[in-house]
């Protein structure tokens, strides 16, 4: 027993296919019914197959009304795929009668929990193996609810195994091994005799051409969906790797500046200790001045209130000596805070500049490596498509694709890879710093030479005009050389910025 399940959205299309003979190549429609052995309907008012399908179509159209009449929730979306077809195929060695097929269909529907739905049985006689098709309306004729098809294929296979056991002979030993394991493991092993039976069924079109095309389309959809998820996961992983590398660089730079931050903390502790001593001496001086008679004086002044009337206001005024001590104390604390803030800001700025200098080459190298990995990744996906195309040409089914695949888990950078990126970044940053220092020294020397020539225009053996012309010519050459150097630097920076933007956006391949 081999059950196969498929869903669709057209009762008319199901009738044209299952109630008529197969179309020949290039034929648009075939209305003969030679291959239809018999039909049988349940839970319908009509018995004629065309009328049964029309009744199913009206039931599906009235789904919202049926839900309201049965007091079920009607706020959900209507069922789009209302047609389900199930093919029950027996072995070529079996000869079931019409009653046997009808009983098997009832047993299958009862096992799946679909016995209350509208069903049309259509038996065909165009193959060596007996088979019957069940056209099921997924909308319940009374409640309007959609049938429960969760794990339908697994439940169908278990029913088929129980059906074969009940009839005293197991025709599919692989299925029995699959669903009889105590540990629940799966197996796709098939004996040679079972393989021959499957090949014979395929040659005899046990799976209808439309069903085969639907299976192949489903395999392609599953493969493309899985590959699309894998590509999204690849770029998500790239973003995580960039964050991981930046975090590692931040820790590395923090280690380089740890000594400076430790010195800053010690300086701040010492300054706090000195500030406490200074405040203690200031308070002592204020107490001595107050004991000497420099007490607070109270004066009265006239102020205008909100209502426009004048009021007397009393306030205290310290002596000039006490006020001077407080002003010096305030200025001392302000100066200490500014000096500490300047130290902290200088260390933080240099640390940030250092991180930027290391991050640019490291992230650029990571982007290049990921671009190469993505090219290999796309080549692997193209190979998967070619493999699926070859399998479908040979008639082999890819059940591993229909079940979907687990999303690839991101792989973080190893400590060795992080160390290599950091070392590369340090080397690149050192070269860039050396190049910058060399240019700065050349520029300073040219500037000093120009200033010397300007200060001493009169040189022995040369007239003032010659000295002036030579100085102007040298300045023009210096300006031209500096302009060319700046143009090269600007071009290099623009190229680096363009490369980083392309890596950050995914590049052309993405």
Domains and CATH numbers, the chain: 2-207 (3.30.930)
Structure-token pair, residue 22: 């197969």
**From CA 2, how far away is CA 233, in angstroms rounded?**
37
Structure-token pair, residue 186: 């799966």
Contact between 252 and 358 under an 8 Å Cβ cutoff? The reply is yes
Question: 482 - beta bridge partners?
Answer: none
Any residues with CB less than 8 A from the CB of 454 and at least 6 apart, and which? 471
How many Cα neighbours within 13 Å face the side chain of 275?
16
Within 395-463, residue ranges assigned H as helices are 399-402, 415-455
| Sheet with strand 131-137: strands edge to edge | 2-8, 83-89, 131-137, 119-124, 36-42
- More confident site: 121 or 459: 121
Closest among 105, 158, 114 to 133, alpha carbons compared: 105
- Looking up tokens 């070859």 gives 390
Q: What is the pLDDT at residue 129?
A: 87
Within 3-123, residue ranges assigned H as helices are 11-18, 49-61, 63-69, 98-112
Q: Is the pLDDT of residue 205 over 60?
A: no
- Residue 1, Cα to own-chain centre: how many angstroms? 43
Structure-token pair, residue 449: 């030479």
Closest among 3, 11, 16, 8 to 218, alpha carbons compared: 8
Within 2-52, strands assigned E span 2-8, 36-42
Rg of the chain on CA atoms, in Å: 44
509 confidence band (pLDDT: 50, 70, 90): very low
CB atoms within 10 A of CB 162: 14
The residue-averaged pLDDT of 196-217 equals 58
3-state secondary structure of 137: strand
Give the pLDDT confidence of 121-136 residue by residue, as tens digits.
999 998 888 999 999 9
- More confident site: 454 or 287: 287
Q: What is the pLDDT at residue 187?
A: 40
Strands 83-89 and 119-124 turn out to be unpaired
Q: What is the pLDDT at residue 209?
A: 60
Query: Which of 67-81, 416-430, 483-497 is the most confident on average?
Result: 416-430
**From CA 115, how far away is CA 135, in angstroms rounded?**
13
Any residues with CB less than 8 A from the CB of 122 and at least 6 apart, and which? 18, 19, 36, 39, 49, 132, 133, 134, 135
Q: Is the pLDDT of residue 459 over 80?
A: no
Q: Is the pLDDT of residue 195 over 60?
A: no
3-state secondary structure of 410: coil
Q: What is the pLDDT at residue 435?
A: 66
**From CA 303, how far away is CA 299, in angstroms rounded?**
13
The residue-averaged pLDDT of 88-106 equals 92
48 confidence band (pLDDT: 50, 70, 90): very high
Residue percentage of the chain with pLDDT more than 70: 77
Q: What is the pLDDT at residue 49?
A: 93
Q: Is the pLDDT of residue 174 over 60?
A: yes
- If 0-12 CB within 10 Å is exposed, 13-18 middle and 19+ buried, where does residue 468 land? middle
Contact between 89 and 129 under an 8 Å Cβ cutoff? The reply is yes
Q: What is the pLDDT at residue 333?
A: 94
- More confident site: 153 or 472: 153
446 confidence band (pLDDT: 50, 70, 90): low
3-state secondary structure of 477: helix
CB atoms within 10 A of CB 222: 18
Instruction: Give Dmax (Cα) for the chain.
Output: 129
3-state secondary structure of 396: coil
- Residue 324, Cα to own-chain centre: how many angstroms? 66
The residue-averaged pLDDT of 488-497 equals 75
Query: What is the sign, positive or negative, of the torsion defined by CA atoms of 453, 458, 460, 462?
Result: positive
**From CA 359, how far away is CA 249, in angstroms rounded?**
7
**From CA 57, how far away is CA 7, in angstroms rounded?**
15
């Amino acid at each position: 027993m081999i059950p196969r399940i498929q869903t669709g959205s057209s009762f008319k299309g199901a009738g044209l296919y299952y109630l008529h003979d197969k179309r020949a190549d290039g034929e648009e429609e075939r209305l003969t019914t030679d291959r239809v052995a018999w039909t049988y309907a349940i839970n319908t008012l009509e018995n004629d197959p065309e009328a049964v399908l029309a009744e199913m179509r009206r039931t599906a159209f009235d789904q919202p009304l049926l839900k309201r009449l049965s007091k079920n929730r009607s706020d959900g979306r209507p069922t789009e795929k209302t047609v389900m077809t199930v093919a029950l195929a027996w072995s070529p060695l079996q000869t079931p009668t019409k009653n046997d097929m009808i009983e098997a269909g009832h047993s299958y529907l009862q096992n799946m929990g679909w016995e209350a739905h509208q069903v049309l049985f259509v038996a065909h006689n165009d193959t060596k193996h007996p088979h019957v098709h069940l056209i099921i309306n997924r909308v319940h004729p009374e409640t309007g609810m959609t049938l429960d098809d969760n794990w339908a294929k697994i439940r169908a296979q278990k029913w088929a195994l129980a059906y074969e056991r009940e009839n005293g002979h197991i025709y599919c030993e692989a299925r029995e091994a699959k669903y009889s394991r105590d540990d629940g493991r799966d197996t796709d092993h098939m004996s040679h005799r079972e393989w021959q039976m499957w090949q014979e069924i395929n040659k005899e079109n046990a799976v209808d051409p439309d069903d085969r095309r639907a299976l192949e389309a489903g395999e392609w959809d599953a493969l493309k969906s899985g590959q699309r998820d894998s590509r999204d996961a690849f770029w998500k992983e790239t973003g995580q790797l960039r964050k991981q590398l930046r975090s590692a660089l931040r820790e590395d730079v923090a280690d380089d500046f740890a000594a400076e931050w430790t010195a800053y903390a010690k300086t701040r502790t010492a300054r706090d200790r000195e500030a406490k001593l200074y405040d203690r001496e200031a308070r002592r001086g204020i107490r001595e001045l107050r004991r000497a008679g420099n007490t607070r004086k109270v004066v009265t002044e006239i102020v205008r209130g909100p209502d426009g009337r004048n009021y007397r206001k009393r306030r205290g005024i310290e002596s000039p000596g006490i006020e001077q001590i407080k002003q010096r104390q305030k200025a001392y604390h302000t100066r200490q805070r500014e000096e500490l803030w300047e130290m902290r800001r200088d260390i933080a700025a240099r640390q940030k500049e250092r991180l930027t200098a290391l991050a640019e080459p490291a992230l650029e190298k990571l982007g290049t490596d990921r671009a190469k990995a993505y090219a290999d990744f796309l080549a692997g996906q193209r190979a998967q498509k070619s493999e699926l195309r070859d399998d479908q040409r040979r008639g082999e089914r890819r059940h591993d694709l229909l079940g979907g695949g687990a999303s690839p888990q991101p792989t973080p950078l190893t400590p060795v890879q992080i160390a290599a990126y950091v070392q590369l970044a340090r080397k690149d940053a050192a070269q860039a710093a050396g190049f910058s220092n060399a240019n700065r020294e050349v520029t300073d020397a040219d500037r000093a030479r120009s200033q010397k020539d300007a200060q001493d225009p009169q040189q022995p053996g040369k007239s003032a005009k010659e000295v002036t012309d030579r100085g102007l010519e040298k300045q023009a050459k210096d300006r031209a050389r500096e302009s060319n150097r700046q143009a090269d630097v600007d071009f290099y920076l623009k190229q680096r910025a363009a490369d980083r933007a392309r890596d950050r956006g995914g590049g052309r391949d993405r």
